Chain A
Amino acid sequence: MLLPPTSSSTRVSRRRRPARWGSDRGLPVYVASRVAAVVPLILAVTFVCFLLVHMAPGDAWTRLEANPDVSRSTLEAFRARFGLDRPILVQYGLWLRNVVLRGDFGLSFESALPAFDALFLSGRLAWTVLVAGSTMLVALAFAIPLGVWTAARPRGVVDRLGAALEFVLLSVPAFLLGLLLLWLLVAVRVGDLGLGVGGLFDPRYLGAPWSWEKVGNLLWHLWPVWAAAGAAEGIGWARQTRGSLQEALADPYVVTARSKGLAERSVIWKHALRNAANPLVSMAGLSLPRLVSGSLVAAVVFNLPTVERAFWQAVQAQDRYVVLAGLSFFTVFLAVGNLTADLLLVALDPRIRRDA
Chain B
Amino acid sequence: MTCGRTRTVFAARRGATVVLAILAAACALAEFLAPYPYDEQRNEHAFSPPTSIRFHDAAGWSARPFVHPFRMENDPRTYERRIVEDQSRRVYLRFFAHGAPYRLLGVFPADVHLFELGDAESGARVYLFGADALGRDLFARVLVGGRVSLVVGPYVLLLLIPLAALLGGLSGYCGGWIDFVLQRLGEVAVALPGLPVLLVVGAALAARHASPIVSLAAVLGALVAIGWGGMARVVRGQILSIRQRDFILAARASGAGHARILCRHVLPHVASYLAVSATLLVPGTMLMEASLSFLGLGVREPMTSWGALLAGARSLAAVERSPWLLIPGGFLAASVLAFACLGEAVREVEAGRASGRGSARRSRARAIPD
Contacts and interface: CB of A to CB of B under 8 A. Distances in A.
Q: Do A and B come from one complex?
A: yes
Interface of A: 1-5, 7, 9-12, 14, 17, 41-42, 44-45, 48-49, 52-53, 55-58, 167, 170-176, 179, 183, 186, 286, 289, 292-293, 296-297, 300, 311-312, 315-316, 318, 323, 326-327, 330-331, 333-335, 338
Nearest to A4: B280
B316 to A, nearest CB: 6
Contacts of B350: 11-12
Contacts of A311: 196
Contact of B200 (A1, A53, A335): A53
Given A4-B284, A17-B237, A45 B294 contact: no
Contacts of B291: 173-175, 297
Identify the 8 closest CB pairs spanning chains A and B, nearest first.
A2-B227, A4-B280, A293-B195, A1-B194, A330-B193, A171-B336, A56-B204, A55-B204
A173 B307 CA distance: 10
Contact of B287 (A17, A173, A312, A327): A173
B200 A327 contact: yes
Given A10-B276, A44-B188, A293-B195, A315 B203 contact: yes
A273 to B, nearest CB: 24
Contacts of A326: 196
A273 B197 CA distance: 36
Interface of B: 160, 184, 187-188, 191-197, 199-201, 203-204, 207-208, 223, 226-227, 230-231, 234, 237, 272-273, 276-277, 280-281, 283-285, 287-288, 290-291, 294-297, 307, 310, 314, 316, 319, 329, 332-333, 336-337, 340, 344, 347-348, 350-351, 354-355
Given A9-B347, A170-B340, A1 B195 contact: yes
Contacts of A48: 188, 192
Contact of A171 (B191, B203, B337): B337
Contacts of B283: 4, 170-171
A296 B351 contact: no
Nearest to B195: A293
B290 A173 contact: yes
B193 A12 contact: no
B348 to A, nearest CB: 6
Most B Cβ at <10 Å: residue of A4, A49, A289: A4
| Majority DSSP secondary structure for residues of A touching B | helix
B207 A292 contact: no
A58 B207 CA distance: 9
Contact of B188 (A45, A174, A323): A45
Contacts of B197: 49, 52, 327
Contacts of A55: 200-201, 204, 208
Contact of A175 (B276, B295, B340): B295
Contacts of B193: 289, 292, 327, 330-331, 333-334
Nearest to A323: B200
Contacts of B316: 183, 186
Contacts of A318: 203, 207
A254 B132 CA distance: 61
Contacts of A52: 197, 200-201, 204
28 contacts: A1-B284, A4-B280, A4-B283, A5-B280, A7-B344, A11-B350, A12-B273, A17-B237, A45-B188, A49-B197, A49-B200, A52-B200, A58-B207, A167-B337, A170-B283, A171-B332, A171-B333, A175-B291, A175-B295, A292-B196, A296-B195, A297-B291, A300-B295, A311-B196, A315-B196, A315-B203, A316-B296, A331-B192
B351 A171 contact: no
Nearest to B281: A4
Most A Cβ at <10 Å: residue of B191, B195, B197, B231: B191
A4 B295 contact: no
A252 B248 CA distance: 31
A53 B203 CA distance: 10
Given A170-B336, A318-B207, A327-B193, 16 more contacts: A1-B288, A9-B348, A11-B351, A41-B187, A44-B188, A52-B201, A55-B204, A57-B207, A167-B340, A173-B307, A315-B297, A327-B197, A331-B192, A333-B193, A334-B193, A335-B191
Nearest to A288: B193
A57 B207 CA distance: 7
Contact of A12 (B188, B223, B272, B337): B272
Nearest to A5: B280
Nearest to A42: B191
Nearest to A6: B280
Nearest to A58: B207
Contacts of A297: 195, 291, 295
B351 A10 contact: yes
Contacts of A296: 195-196, 199
A292 B194 contact: yes
Contacts of A17: 237
A2 B281 contact: yes
A176 B192 CA distance: 25
Nearest to B192: A45
